[in-house]
Structures are given as structure tokens and as C-alpha cells.
Amino acid sequence: MEPWVEALLAWYRAHPRPMPWRGHPDPYAVWVSEIMLQQTQVETVRPYFTRFLEAFPNIAALAAAEDGPLLKAWEGLGYYTRARNLRKAAQRVMAEHGGTLPREPAALRALPGIGDYTAAAIASLAFGAPTPVVDGNVARVFARRNLLGDDFRKPAPRRALAAWLTPHIEASGAPADFNQAMMDLGARVCTPRTPACLVCPLRPQCQAHATGRQGDFPHTPPARALPERRATVLLLRDCHGRLLLARHPGERLLAGLWELPTRESVPFPIPRTRLVGTHRQTFSHFRQTLTVRQATLPLDGAAAALPPDLVWCDDPASLPLTTATRKILAGDL
């Protein structure tokens, strides 16, 4: 084992970062945590992880989950396709692997929602396989340590870095600790703007530190401007205060979640509306601005016939809502 690997492991063991999924004996829990952590911060995931495992304590329970409770447990975490893929994968594990999560990275990668990174993470954290994980944090550490000028948002440089790390993780004898140490070092020490080089276990070998070029790595070409989408949504209540909600259409992203309807989706005349405010949200591929208008209808919603994707609702919190709708109802405008 090279001295830097020894120093990295010693640092990790001396500075553990408690997380509810760390040291969890159940590969299912590791898998759920890794899916939740995709594009989501650790602090956001913590309460969701605990609640999700209470609602769906094992693979069989997840495989049998209904849409409503599944989306409710995921509500607010975003990227809802992850929840549906998790259930699809659980059903495949029940059907094809006797209800036990497979250990091999290739078999894990064959399951819905599991790519190279997640397969490597599960294989190492749950089963001790020497498969290095390369996320943005890890790439930043080694781009600086080794002065690598690649764009690590692309798969090829990530794969090359994983290949370079493989003999080191094999020699470490502790793949789970090695991977978690790298992730933690990137998140807590080798941070994007102000790396804490003085306390970094990799400082003796770090070429960026030696040359004062931490700010030059990793190299990130400027991002494209995101396209803007605009819409007007309605806070419509009936004479009993019930709120009109629409089921989000389609099969991806927010499909199946409930949200405030647009004017076009309401099949009856709407009285004069009043401007309430605007709500902005950034998704991975676009920015969204919702103008919110409100009105009260002089009718009893329960008496009106509606298409199945619209509902008058007494208690919106009981339905899985889009993040934008939840925030608008909480007054975040």
C-alpha cells in the first residue's frame, strides 16, 4: 500500500462522518442510499432515507409498493424516475435473483436506475469489492493531486481515473473505507473554492498544492445557459375551500405527481383571477417560472364531474405533490 493510501485511510478513520446508511449491514439500505444520493446532497437525503426504510423495510416491500405511497415517500427529493426505477429494480431482484441483491457490478448495472458509479458504490460499500467510485468530489481531488486537465463530467476521463485508482483500492484491503474516504475528502477538505490543504492527508503528493494551482483544477468548460420555460398555474378553490389539483402527465420526471393546474387544463369557465406571485425552479435541463393566479369558484367541487387527471382536494398534503406545488402552497413565492 502506498503512503498516500495509508494516510487517506488513517484520516478517514480518525474523522468519521456519521451517516444513517454507513456501516449498515443491509445491502438494500446501501442501495437505497446510493440512489437517493444521486444529484442530491447528503443533508437532504438523511431524513428521507430513514423514512423510506421505515415505509419499505426490504426489497419485497419495495417491489410491492403502490404508486401513491412510493411517490409520497420520495416527495420533495426530486428526480422521481429514481423512485420508480428503484421499485422496478426491486421487482427484477425478486423475480431474477430470489429477492437478494446481486454482488457483481455487472449484474447490478443490469438493474434499472443503476449506472457505473452506483454499481461500483454498492459493490464496494455493501460487498467489499475493489471497485473505485469516481464522482465529482473524487475527480476534483485527483485532478488536483495529479494535475489532470480533463473534463470529468465526461465518462472517458472518469473511467481512466477509475482504472488508475483500481490497483490502489485493491492494495488498500479496505475498499469501502477507501471509497468513503475519497468521497469525504472531496466533500470536506478538497472543496471546490477553498481547499483546506493544511489538513489534507494527500498534501505531500499533491502537485496542485505544490505549485499553488488548486484553482486551475478540475478544468470545467463554461456551462451552456439553460432554456427557460414559463407557465401560469391556478390556485382554484371551490365554495368549500377544496383545491383543484391536476395529475402531471407523461412518463418521465414528474409523472404521476399532483400539481396546480394550468388554465388550459381546466375544462370549465374560470372567473376573474388575481395575481399571487411567481415561483422559480431550476431543473437539470431547464429553468421554470410559474406565474400563480388564484380564484374561488361559486360551486361545490364534489358535485362537478371531472376527468380522472383532475381532483378537488380537501387535504393536498395527503397526495404526492410536485416540489413547485408544495412550495407554492407553503407560500414560497
Q: How far apart are the first and last CA of the chain?
A: 55
CB 213 to ligand SF4: min, Å: 9
Interface residue with ligand SF4, options 63, 141, 187, 243 (CB under 6 A): 141
Count residues binding ligand SF4 (CB under 6 A): 15
Judged by beta carbon, residue 7 or residue 304, the one nearer ligand SF4 is 7
| Distant-in-sequence, close-in-space partners of 114: CB < 8 Å, separation ≥ 6 | 35, 89, 108, 122
Interface residue with ligand SF4, options 22, 203, 237, 287 (CB under 6 A): 203
State how far the Cα of 139 lies from the Cα of 186, in Å rounded to an integer.
Answer: 8
Told to check if 208 binds ligand SF4 by CB under 6 A, we report: yes
Look at the alpha carbons of 181, 187, 188, 189 in this order and tell me if their dihedral is positive or negative. positive
DSSP of 293-323, one letter per residue? EEEE-SS-GGGS---TTEEEES-GGGS-B-H
The answer to whether 201 and 8 are in contact (CB under 8 A) is: yes
Q: Segment near ligand SF4 (CB under 6 A), from 151-159, 200-208, 237-245, 312-320?
A: 200-208
Interface residue with ligand SF4, options 84, 87, 144, 248 (CB under 6 A): 144
Judged by beta carbon, residue 7 or residue 311, the one nearer ligand SF4 is 7
Beta bridge partners of 288: 229, 281
CB 157 to ligand SF4: min, Å: 17
Q: Segment near ligand SF4 (CB under 6 A), from 115-123, 195-203, 227-235, 284-292?
A: 195-203
Interface residue with ligand SF4, options 189, 260, 321, 328 (CB under 6 A): 189
State how far the Cα of 178 lies from the Cα of 10, in Å rounded to an integer.
Answer: 10
- Our answer to whether residue 34 is catalytic in this structure is yes
Around Cβ 152, how many Cβ atoms within 10 Å?
23
- The catalytically annotated residue of 34, 54, 170, 259 is 34
Interface residue with ligand SF4, options 72, 84, 87, 145 (CB under 6 A): 145
| Contact string 146-185 vs ligand SF4 (x = CB under 6 A) | ----------------------------------------
**C-alpha cell belonging to residue 331:** 407560500
Amino acid identity at 170: E
Q: Segment near ligand SF4 (CB under 6 A), from 8-16, 34-42, 160-168, 206-214?
A: 206-214
Judged by beta carbon, residue 176 or residue 189, the one nearer ligand SF4 is 189
∠ CA 306-310-311 to the nearest 5 degrees? 85
- Give 61-69's long-range contacts (Cβ < 8 A, gap of 24+): 62/28, 62/86, 62/87, 62/90, 63/87, 63/90, 63/91, 63/93, 63/94, 65/90, 67/256, 68/319, 68/320
Told to check if 214 binds ligand SF4 by CB under 6 A, we report: yes
User: Nearest Cα to 33, choosing from 192, 191, 176?
Assistant: 176
Judged by beta carbon, residue 27 or residue 157, the one nearer ligand SF4 is 157
Amino acid identity at 193: R
Told to check if 139 binds ligand SF4 by CB under 6 A, we report: no
Residues that bind ligand SF4 (CB under 6 A): 141, 144-145, 189-190, 195-197, 200, 202-203, 206, 208-209, 214
Catalytic residues: 34
